[in-house]
Amino acid sequence: MRCVGRVRGNTRQPVVIHVLSINKGPINKRSPASPTPFPTSQTSISLFCVPRPLYPISPHKTSKHKKSMADSSLSDREKPYQDGIHAEHQEPGLITNSAPVKDEGQWDGPDADFSGVDRAVVLRKMDMRLIPVLALLYLLSFLDRGNIGNANIQGLSEDLGLTGTQYALCLTVFFFTYALFELPSNLLLKKLRPSVWLPSIMVAWGTCTICLGVTNNYAGLLSVRVFLGLAEAGLFPGVSYYLTMWYCSEELAIRQGLFFSAASMAGAFSGLLAFAIAKMDGVGGYEGWRWIFILEGLLTVIVACGAYFIMYDFPDTASFLTPQERAWASHRLKYQGSKRSGRMIAESEKFEWRFVKAAVMDWQVWLGTIMFIGIVCPLYSISLFLPTIINQLGYEAATAQLLTIPIYISAAIMCIGTSKLSDRAAKAGNSRWPYIFWPMIAILVGFIIALAASAHGGVPGVVYAGVFITTCGIYPAVPGNITWIANNLAGSYKRAAGMGFQIGIGNLSGAMASNFYRKRDKPKFILGHALNIGIVSLGIAAVMTLRWNYARINAQRDRDESDGADINDDEIAKMGDRAPTFRYTL
C-alpha cells in the first residue's frame, strides 16, 4: 500500500508514503478505571515518508545516486523495515539491500536500452587507455625492426665484414618468419588474453634486438634476424585486429591512424636516437652501432614488463567502464553489421575452421593483399634505406640521420589527418576508397620525381623532395587499407584470419623491398625507384578493382527483394559478409 502526498514545509517536493508492516496482536492498554493492563486487539501501522526526486536520475549515475538517497532518507531505525519490502512494491529509484541495482542480463539482445550511455565519454575512456599504449608498442616494434638501417651507416657492415648481398639477406630473412607467423598469431590473440600475449612477444623481440648488438659475425646476425621476425610477427596484425574488438567500423580509421603514426614517429625518433647513441662509440669497448641495438632493445623489454599491468583485454572485462558501458561497448560491436540492413543479427563468435578457410579463399582478401603490397613495399624501402639514400646524395652520416626527421613527422601528421577524414566520410555514409587511392597516387608521384632526378644526375634536393612526398603518401595509406578490409570482413574469426593473412602475405613484399636498393646501384638507385613505381601502380589497380566489385555486389543485393528473409538469423550470422543482408563499405 502506498499513497503520494507532500511534506509540509516543502510543498514542491512530492513524497511517497510506504506502509512497511501491518501487525495485528494484543497490546497493553490501561483502563482509566483500572491500573492493571488488559489485552485488546488493535492494528499497528508503521509508516515512513521518502521524498521522490522531481527530476529523472541519469542512468549512468543511478547506483551512486540511489545509494546516497537511501542513506540520507532512512534512519538506522527505518532501514530494517525498508529491507523487508518486496521488490515489486518498492518505489523505482529506491535501492534496498535485498534487490540488485541492475541485472546485466537486461542489456543482452538486439533491443537492449542504452539511452543512458554517453558515447563520447566511453570512447574517450577507451582512447585514453588503449591508444597511447598501443602506439608505444608499435613505435618500439618499428624502431627495433628498422634500426639495422641506422646501424649500417654507422659501420655495421664494415665491422662485421658483410658484402652487399649478405647485408641484403639479413634484411630479407626477417620477413619470411614475420609473414609466416602473422595469421596464427591473430588466432592466438583471439583465444588468449591480449594483455599477456602482446607484452610476451614484446619481451621476445626486445631480447633479440639486444642480441643483435653483441653479435660478431654474419651467421650470428642472420640467425638473430630470423628470430626477430618470428617475435615481431604478432604485433601489427594483432593490434590492428585488437582495435576492431573495441571500435565500430566508422570509428576505426582514426584509431588505426593514431596507432600506425607511431611508425612514422619511430622513423623520426630512430634517426635522432641513432645520432645520439652513435656518440657512445668506444664506450665499454663497443662500437656505436652496437649501442643502438642494445639500448633500444633494453627499452623495449622494460616497456613490455609495464605493459603486462596496463593493457586491457576486451570491452566486456574492462575495469575502467561501468557495467552498462561494458554491455554497450560489446553490444554495438556485436550488432554493428545490422545497421546496414536494419535486421538485428549478432556476429558469430564461435570458432570454426571454415571461417579461416573462407578468409584465405576470399577474393576481397586477395585484392586487399595486392593493394597492401603496393603500400608496404615502398614502406619498407623507405624505412630500411632512407638514411642510405640520403647519405648517398652526398650528406654525412649524422646529417643523413637528422634529415629523416622532418619527413617522418610530416608523414605522421598526414596519417592522422587523412584517417580522421576517412572516418568522417564513413559516418556520413560516403566512401573510404578515396582516402587510400590519393595517398597511393602521392607515393607514385614521389617515386617518379626521385627516379627522374636520379636519372639526370641525382640532384640531391629533388631526390629528397621525391622521397618526402612518397613517405607522406605511404603512412596514410596503410591504416586506410587495413580499415577498409576490416570493415568488409564480417564475423569475428573470419576478420581475424583475413587481416592476419592480408598483412602476413603483404609483408612478404618486405623481402623484395630489402633487395631493391643494392649497394652496386648507389648513388642513384634507379632500379629501386623503378621497381617501386611498378608495384605501387599494381596496388592502385587493386584499389579500383575492389571498389568496383563492392559497388557491383551492393547493387545486386539491393535488387534482391527477399533480402535474406528466407534465411534464419544463425545462418545469416555464419555467412558473414556473404549474407544477402550485408552491404560493403565503398
The pLDDT-based confidence of 343 (bands split at 50, 70, 90) is: low
Asked whether residue 33 carries a pLDDT value surpassing 70, the answer given is no
The lowest-confidence range among 65-69, 337-341, 437-441, 527-531 is 65-69
Query: What average pLDDT score do residues 498-513 get?
Result: 88
The lowest-confidence range among 141-145, 158-162, 413-417 is 141-145
> By C-alpha distance, which of 411, 392, 249, 343 is closest to 565?
343
What is the Cα–Cα distance from 60 to 121, expressed in whole angstroms?
A: 11
Asked whether residue 259 carries a pLDDT value surpassing 70, the answer given is yes
Fold of the 119-553+565-578 domain: Growth Hormone; Chain: A; (1.20.1250)
Asked whether residue 454 carries a pLDDT value surpassing 50, the answer given is yes
The lowest-confidence range among 85-89, 115-119, 340-344, 524-528 is 85-89
114-123, 221-230, 265-274, 338-347: range with highest mean pLDDT:
221-230
Sorted by where each begins, the domain ranges of the chain are 2-78, 119-553+565-578
- Residue type for position 388: T
Q: Which residue has the cell 605511404?
A: 474
The pLDDT-based confidence of 54 (bands split at 50, 70, 90) is: very low
The pLDDT-based confidence of 392 (bands split at 50, 70, 90) is: confident
Query: What average pLDDT score do residues 26-54 get?
Result: 43
pLDDT digits (tens, 9 = 90+) for 299-331: 999 999 999 999 999 998 999 999 999 999 988
What is the Cα–Cα distance from 527 to 510, expressed in whole angstroms?
A: 16
pLDDT on residue 53 = 44
pLDDT digits (tens, 9 = 90+) for 168-201: 899 889 989 998 899 888 888 878 889 999 999 9
- Which residue intervals of 154-281 are DSSP H helices? 156-160, 164-180, 182-191, 194-212, 218-232, 235-244, 252-277
The length of the chain in residues reads 586
Distances (CA, A) of 335 to 55, 148, 499, 563, 569: 33, 45, 20, 17, 12
Asked whether residue 416 carries a pLDDT value surpassing 80, the answer given is yes
pLDDT on residue 108 = 62
* Three cell numbers written together for 308: 603486462
Query: What average pLDDT score do residues 347-366 get?
Result: 84
Contact between 268 and 405 under an 8 Å Cβ cutoff? The reply is yes
Asked whether residue 344 carries a pLDDT value surpassing 80, the answer given is no
* Three cell numbers written together for 22: 501491518
Q: Is 101 or 237 the better-scoring residue by pLDDT?
A: 237
Distances (CA, A) of 119 to 110, 134, 316, 317, 326: 18, 22, 16, 18, 12
pLDDT on residue 145 = 82
What is the Cα–Cα distance from 159 to 164, expressed in whole angstroms?
A: 13
pLDDT on residue 1 = 47
pLDDT on residue 275 = 80
Distances (CA, A) of 198 to 202, 254, 287: 6, 22, 32
Query: What average pLDDT score do residues 199-210 get?
Result: 96
pLDDT on residue 105 = 52
pLDDT on residue 334 = 80
* Three cell numbers written together for 564: 535474406
Question: Going by C-beta distance under 8 Å and a sequence separation of 6 or more, which residues neighbour residue 463?
Answer: 389, 393, 449, 450, 453, 454
- What is the chain's alpha carbon radius of gyration, rounded to the nearest angstrom? 32
Query: What average pLDDT score do residues 432-460 get?
Result: 91
Asked whether residue 51 carries a pLDDT value surpassing 80, the answer given is no
Contact between 254 and 213 under an 8 Å Cβ cutoff? The reply is no
pLDDT on residue 337 = 59
The pLDDT-based confidence of 27 (bands split at 50, 70, 90) is: very low
What is the Cα–Cα distance from 172 to 148, expressed in whole angstroms?
A: 12
Asked whether residue 82 carries a pLDDT value surpassing 60, the answer given is no
Query: What average pLDDT score do residues 346-375 get?
Result: 86
The lowest-confidence range among 21-25, 84-88, 107-111, 552-556 is 84-88
What is the Cα–Cα distance from 386 to 150, expressed in whole angstroms?
A: 9
Q: Is 82 or 400 the better-scoring residue by pLDDT?
A: 400
Tell me the percentage of the chain whose pLDDT exceeds 70: 78
Question: Going by C-beta distance under 8 Å and a sequence separation of 6 or more, which residues neighbour residue 566?
Answer: none
Distances (CA, A) of 581 to 169, 248, 254, 487: 48, 18, 27, 15
The pLDDT-based confidence of 472 (bands split at 50, 70, 90) is: very high
The lowest-confidence range among 219-228, 265-274, 352-361, 479-488 is 265-274
What is the Cα–Cα distance from 375 to 532, expressed in whole angstroms?
A: 9
pLDDT on residue 511 = 84
pLDDT on residue 124 = 96
Query: What average pLDDT score do residues 134-147 get?
Result: 88
The lowest-confidence range among 4-18, 166-180, 412-426 is 4-18
Asked whether residue 384 carries a pLDDT value surpassing 60, the answer given is yes
Produce one character per residue of 60-96: b if its CB has 16 or more CB atoms within 10 Å, e if not. Answer: bebbebbeebbeebbeeebbebbeebeeeebeebbbb
